[in-house]
Amino acid sequence: MTRVSELRVQLFADGADLAGIKEAARNPLIRGFTTNPTLMRAAGVNDYEAFARAVLDEIRDLPVSFEVFSDEFEEMADQARLIASWAPNVVVKIPITNTRREPSYALLRRLADEGIRLNVTAMMTLDQVRAAAEAVASASLAYISVFAGRIADTGRDPVPLMAEAVAILRPHTNIQLLWASPRELLNVFQADAVGCHVITATADVLKKLSSVGKDLDEFSLETVKMFHNDADYAGYRLHTSRPRAISAE
């Protein structure tokens, strides 16, 4: 596949820069948004709720995922209910465990039964996928976020695992598999090929969509020109015996 128009996987913009979120919202390819406390901290967000409400003022019709940040399940539940109350398009992200390795399955079941739309995050194994799918079976909508990019960071190929996750979730029409933490644009096409429902993409990955299907000879020439021009702009010089060519212009 070399055309973005043929993609079946949904693209969700991932980030915490309000200006970038506004820009992504104007892109018809973007079908949702995600963020997390780490991205928000890196973007300089100081007031969690104020930032979230500013985002929701801009994004009214597409799903937006915000994450709880307590390490205690009862407080997670309270945070989830509050976050869900901010707008009907909010999806609440719940980590698959807390920092003590305690699984969040009981909390997920409770929140799903309450009608809260969920995004189960930070998963990396098929056992987690199976257990999370069972836990959110009663939800009207849930995303199972498998961090395929981080799996790849360990030297493992995430594609077979993601393909198996698609098969595991196939009976659950209310659950969508989300390919999280992609490292390159190729991951978008890999996610599409295995039947993944959603893939998140940061701004730097989304910018590469314009290169899809580009002629490789032309791309090669653009790269050569980039190297040449950057050397010129930097003023690099090497003292060789051959005189430097002078332009006829």
Half-sphere exposure of 223 (CA within 13 A, CB side): 8
Mark 185-219 as b/e (b = at least 16 C-beta within 10 Å): bebbbbbbebbbbbbbbbeebbeeeeebeeeeeee
* DSSP state for residue 156 in the 8-state scheme: -
Catalytic residue among 22, 93, 207, 214: 93
CB 130 within 8 A of CB 168: yes
**Which pair of structure tokens corresponds to residue 153?**
């960071």
Q: Is 93 a catalytic residue?
A: yes
Start-to-end C-alpha separation, the chain: 43
The CA distance from 35 to 96, in Å, is: 16
CB neighbour list of residue 63: distance below 8 Å, 6 or more residues apart: 12, 31, 32, 33, 89, 90, 91, 117, 141
HSE on the CB side for 15, CA within 13 Å?
A: 19
For residue 195 the two structure tokens come to 């039947």
- Residue positions annotated with a catalytic role: 93
